[in-house]
Amino acid sequence: MLVLGIDTSCDDTSVAVYRADTGRVLSNVVSSQYEFHAPFGGVVPEVAARRHAEQIDAVFNAALKEAGVEPEELNLVATTNRPGLLPALLVGLTFGKGLSFRLGIPFKAVHHIEAHLLSPFIGREPPFPFIGLVVSGGHTVIVVAEKLGKYKVVGKTLDDAVGEAYDKVAKLLSLGYPGGPAIDRLYRSYRGELLKLPKPKVKGLDFSFSGIKTATRRLFEQGAPAVQVAASFQETAVDYLVEKLKKAVKEVGVKRVAVAGGVSANSLLREKLLALKEEEGIELHLAPLEFTSDNGAMVAYTGYLRFLLEGADPLTVGAQARSPIDEG
């Protein structure tokens, strides 16, 4: 069983080939558009769509070549159709549907956040139930995953996503786009004192990052060096994520945790999660580094699981810019 996974939801054109019977990812090709969006300090949807359209054929061909697979050998096409930047989503969706039609094989539309959520388990059965923390450029959610397709959002950001806050702070400090890796690197190189930033007092398991972002800006405007500002921001943002996750484990009473999404590549977050695992006796599943940011492998894997559960989708299925994970 060979599954093709396509993701063009944001600024990465990604295609992967997943061998479902062995649970192996045969190829996972990602073409990033960073340099095209860098001048704008964030992703421009129309620029992303144009670039996806230019790249998708080459990325598809590279993924098949690396996997050593001919198009006719594919058994299922899975493509992200929600949520994401609408013009960008449409490029992958149209390509995936066209391929499914041409090859006469089933098509499965995939929810991007579900794909991130399940990415720590690529290649095996997800061990339900678990608590999932998805942290990316567009999303910051804590989910109770009861079984495949049954997710309850117990915490979410009320304003910016954590990755978005990283990118905005990086823009303020002229560190380039995407901001996460740049800030993480500065944090690692910094040996000085960390400045205190107030943590937002949002009730329950919800998050807010706009206050942290504003306090960070103030520090910079008051003359603190960029490296100290970046490191202090990271310390606060990561602490805040881990505190909420710890609270979720206590409140929900499930000691199995999965953490995924672009920000889960963060070195300090991974370090603090490992400490939390020891401290609380948690079964921790981190997305493998290569599958933290947007990738076709998580889409192929999730599409395959959902295809087994509920069958294929019609080729009339559309794209949706917004779609909470607990509403389908």
* Cα–Cα distance measured from residue 257 to residue 21, given in angstroms and rounded to the nearest whole number: 26
Could you say whether residue 92 binds ligand KG4 (CB under 6 A)?
no
| Count of residues that bind ligand KG4 according to CB under 6 A | 19
179-208 residues in contact with ligand KG4 (CB under 6 A) are 179-181, 184
Stretch binding Zn ion (CB under 5 A), from 50-58, 213-221, 279-287, 294-302: 294-302
Shortest gap between Cβ of 307 and ligand KG4 (angstroms)?
22
- Least CB distance from residue 4 to ligand KG4, whole Å? 20
Residue 263 interface partner, choices Zn ion, ligand KG4, none, CB cut-off 5-8 Å depending on type: ligand KG4
- Does residue 136 interact with Zn ion by CB under 5 A? yes
Backbone angles phi, psi at 226, to 5 degrees: -55, -40
Closest CA to 321 of 92, 93, 85, 96: 85
136, 117 Cβ separation under 8 angstroms: no
The sheet carrying 2-7 orders its strands as 24-32, 12-19, 2-7, 76-82, 107-111
What is the smallest separation between the CB atom of 184 and ligand KG4, expressed in angstroms? 4
Binding range to Zn ion, per CB under 5 A, among 12-20, 97-105, 134-142, 173-181: 134-142
**What distance in Å separates the CA atoms of residue 107 and residue 94, rounded to the nearest whole number?**
11
Q: Distances from the Cα of 6 to the Cαs of 75, 171, 292, 323, in angstroms?
A: 14, 29, 15, 18
In the complex with Zn ion, the residue whose CB is nearer, 91 or 249, is 91
Of the candidate spans 15-23, 141-149, 197-205, 262-270, the one that interacts with ligand KG4 by CB under 6 A turns out to be 262-270
**262 binding ligand KG4? (CB under 6 A):** yes
Do residues 103 and 318 lie in contact, with contact meaning Cβ atoms separated by under 8 Å?
A: no
User: Does 137 participate in binding ligand KG4 (rule CB under 6 A)?
Assistant: yes
* Residue (197 or 263) nearer to ligand KG4, CB: 263
Residue 294 as a binder of Zn ion (CB under 5 A): the answer is yes
Is the Cβ of residue 111 or residue 270 nearer to Zn ion in the bound state? 111
Give the whole-angstrom CA distance, residue 40 versus residue 198.
29
Q: Per-residue DSSP letters for 11-62?
A: SEEEEEEEETTTTEEEEEEEEE-HHHHGGGTS--HHHHHHHHHHHHHHHHHH
Q: How many residues bind to Zn ion according to rule CB under 5 A?
A: 2
For the bound state, the minimum distance from the C-beta of residue 105 to ligand KG4, rounded and expressed in Å, comes to 27
Which among 89-97, 146-154, 174-182, 200-208 is the span making contact with ligand KG4, rule CB under 6 A? Answer: 174-182
Within 136-249, strands assigned E span: 140-147, 150-156
Q: How far is the CB of 131 from ligand KG4 (least distance, A)?
A: 19
Dihedral sign for Cα atoms in the order 260, 261, 266, 269: negative
In angstroms, give the least distance from the CB of 139 to ligand KG4: 7
184 binds, among ligand KG4, Zn ion, none (CB under 5 to 8 A by kind): ligand KG4
User: What's the rounded Cα separation, in Å, for the pair 214 and 197?
Assistant: 10
CB of 55 to Zn ion, least distance (A): 17
Give the whole-angstrom CA distance, residue 325 versus residue 143.
9
Q: Which of 134, 118, 136 is nearest to 11 (CA)?
A: 136
Contact between 266 and ligand KG4 by CB under 6 A: the answer reads yes
Binding site for ligand KG4 (CB under 6 A): 10, 136-138, 163, 166-167, 178-181, 184, 261-263, 265-266, 293-294
Binding site for Zn ion (CB under 5 A): 136, 294
